[in-house]
Amino acid sequence: MGKAGMSAAAQSMTTPWSPTPSQLAMAYSVCTGIARTAAKNFYYGFMVLPRAKRDALCAVYAFMRRCDDLSDDPGVPLHERRAKLEAWLDALHHAYSGEPTDEPVLLALTDVTRHFNVPLELLDQLAMGTLSDVREQRKEVESPALTVQYQTFEDLRQYCYQVASVVGLVCIKIFGYRDRAAEPLAERCGVAFQLTNIIRDVEEDASLGRVYLPAEDLRRFGVAVDELLGHPEPGRLKPLLEFEAARAREFYKAGDELLPLIDEDSQPALWVLVNIYRRLLDKIEMCDYHVFGKRVRLTVLEKSTILGKGFLKRLS
């Protein structure tokens, strides 16, 4: 074989595989279906984005959803869950390097990384965030007692970074920004969202053997961890949850500061997301922090009202 033939062969071996437009369209359609069905609060924010950014966030969400499903499957032993998550992440790396794949979520996600410069390291961290819950579940199996996972708020904040702040950092890559001050603000905004979820889900998490409220805060307000397993008097937990809600509100201020730093066509989406979650925190407060017995959630009308205001912001 001549030099020209050898060069062509080498080039054909190193050229990354690229999906066809129809393959990509189908992949994004699958991701959109997953997000529309499962995202609930997040999908309302997606709806006010330009099409390309909306599709990109749907792909990110579909990837997150698969990670969560693999880590939270109670019918699969813990070591197998970890192995499946690692295999899923490995498949992402192969697709990212240009190897062929027929997995629609990975097809769409690798397209997102190229068009929006989303670092693979952020997606790695996002997947590893779901593994942190798998490690916690391992503790639950080893000890039947309900245990507190985080001793201090700084410990909890690191967990929030893994499962929520990283999502914020991926989102602003897709939203677009030029000032790097946006990055720490996106991290803080993620903490606000996660703290809101933790306050709302105290009962559900305790039923799964998980306590995300820091031990130092439980001690400060005289709440015994075993109280979270039953139906405690609302007044017993109110000062503790009120304290955590005030902390979350401080972090929500980052969302207001972040808004002008991202691309104008993405600002309505961030506004919708922040206000849906902040409204959820307001509703918990209006329920006097009664988070046991019935899950506090926003109605479709409440979320649609916020979405409508977001559309008006997009059009203005």
Name the maximum alpha-carbon separation found in the chain: 84
| Percent over 70 (pLDDT), the chain | 90
CB contact at 8 A, 274 and 252 = yes
Comparing CA positions, the residue from 158, 59, 174 lying closest to residue 107 is 59
b/e burial code for range 237-267 (CB count within 10 A of at least 16 → b): bbebbbebbebbbebbebbeebbebbeeebb
Spatial separation of the C-alpha atoms in residues 302 and 316, rounded to whole Å: 22
Instruction: Write phi, then psi, for 148 (nearest 5 degrees).
Output: -85, 130
pLDDT score of 77 more than 90: no
Residues sharing a CB contact under 8 Å with residue 252, sequence separation 6 or more, in sequence order: 189, 192, 274, 277, 278, 281
pLDDT score of 284 more than 90: yes
- The ranges of the chain annotated as CATH 1.10.600.10 are 145-316
Average pLDDT, the chain: 87
Domain 145-316 adopts which CATH fold? Farnesyl Diphosphate Synthase (1.10.600)
pLDDT given for residue 130 in this prediction = 78
CB contact at 8 A, 138 and 168 = no
CB contact at 8 A, 223 and 240 = yes
pLDDT tens-place string over residues 94-116: 999 989 999 999 999 999 999 99
Q: What does DSSP say about strands 210-211 and 147-148: parallel, antiparallel, or unpaired?
A: parallel
Q: How many helices (H) and strands (E) does the chain have?
A: 15, 2
pLDDT tens-place string over residues 115-124: 999 999 999 8
For 40: left if phi > 0, alpha if psi spans -120 to 50, otherwise beta; the answer is left
pTM for the model stands at: 0.86
Structure tokens at 220: 């400060």
Higher pLDDT among residues 39 and 214, named by residue: 214
Range with the poorest average pLDDT among 195-199, 203-207, 250-254, 260-264: 203-207
Which residues are paired to 177 by β-bridges?
Answer: 262
Beta strands in the chain (DSSP E): 147-148, 210-211
Length of the chain: 316
CA torsion sign for 156, 164, 229, 200 is positive
CA quadruple 79, 83, 86, 88: dihedral, nearest 10: -130
CB contact at 8 A, 159 and 150 = yes
Comparing CA positions, the residue from 266, 270, 272 lying closest to residue 298 is 272
CB contact at 8 A, 293 and 230 = no
Measured in whole angstroms, the distance separating CA 309 from the mean position of its chain's CA atoms is 23
pLDDT score of 7 more than 80: no
Comparing CA positions, the residue from 111, 258, 243 lying closest to residue 183 is 258
Q: Per-residue DSSP letters for 128-193?
A: HHHHHHHHHHHHHHH--S-EES-SSHHHHHHHHIIIIIHHHHHHHHHH-BS-TTHHHHHHHHHHHH
